Amino acid sequence: MIQEGLTFISDEDTHAYFWHGCPVPSVTTILSGVGVIDSRWFNEQSAIRGTYVHEATALFDRNELREDTLDPVLVPYVDAYKKFLSDTLFAPTLIEEALYSEAYGFAGTLDRTGDLYGNNVLIDIKTGTAPKWVKWQTAAYRELTLEVGTQFPQYRHSLQLKEDGTYRLSEPMIDPHDWQEFLAMLTVYNCKKSIGVKE
């Protein structure tokens, strides 16, 4: 379910958020705009794979995945996610949830929140090694959950799904400075935009 007033468009050509018809930046757009995300490490193939893995795992959590139709390339990543669920008994509550911050004017789609070992946590799924900037990404997503009144995640994790069918769950990210640093980057992003500096 998406917040009333928020429109999220995601296709091969567009990945954009609109709040009551007005475009708003995403968490990753902000991080890219201030130079934190180094696009040299991305390639089109890995980006497409990541998108499909996210879709497949979300369908699995919603009991809507037809595994017999999965592209063989995606199977080990889905197997890794299933192994994570089996090992940890993680119970998702929010799944690929698009949210908007009225207080700060940004949007994002978090991957999962849910119960992990008795704690409410936020999990960001990666199909490659989790980048260092994931701490700011997840801090921003965590703030979004607070504004919409859902249960505030106590911890943040990245979950790396690997092509050999295994996974790696990060240590909990708990540094409160992560959110403050994201706010500083949001300020820089907005200042750049106000004087016409392109991302």
What confidence tens digit (pLDDT) does each residue in 64-91 have?
999 999 999 999 999 999 999 999 999 9
User: What's the pLDDT at 53?
Assistant: 96
Task: Name the β-bridge partners of 15.
Answer: 10
Fill in the amino acid letter for 54: H
Give 149-152's long-range contacts (Cβ < 8 A, gap of 24+): 150/93, 150/94, 150/113, 151/93, 151/113, 151/120, 152/120
Maximum Cα interatomic distance, the chain, rounded to a whole number of Å: 51
User: What's the pLDDT at 91?
Assistant: 95
User: What's the pLDDT at 139?
Assistant: 97
Residue 177 has pLDDT above 70, yes or no: yes
What confidence tens digit (pLDDT) does each residue in 126-160 have?
998 889 999 999 999 999 998 877 778 999 999 99
Query: What residue has token string 């979950």?
Result: 159
- Enumerate the domain spans of the chain: 6-194
Residue 42 has pLDDT above 90, yes or no: no
CATH match for 6-194 among 3.90.320, 3.90.25, 3.60.10, 3.30.70: 3.90.320
pTM beyond 0.85, yes or no: yes
User: What's the pLDDT at 129?
Assistant: 87
Angle at 142 between CA 25 and CA 149, to 5 degrees: 100
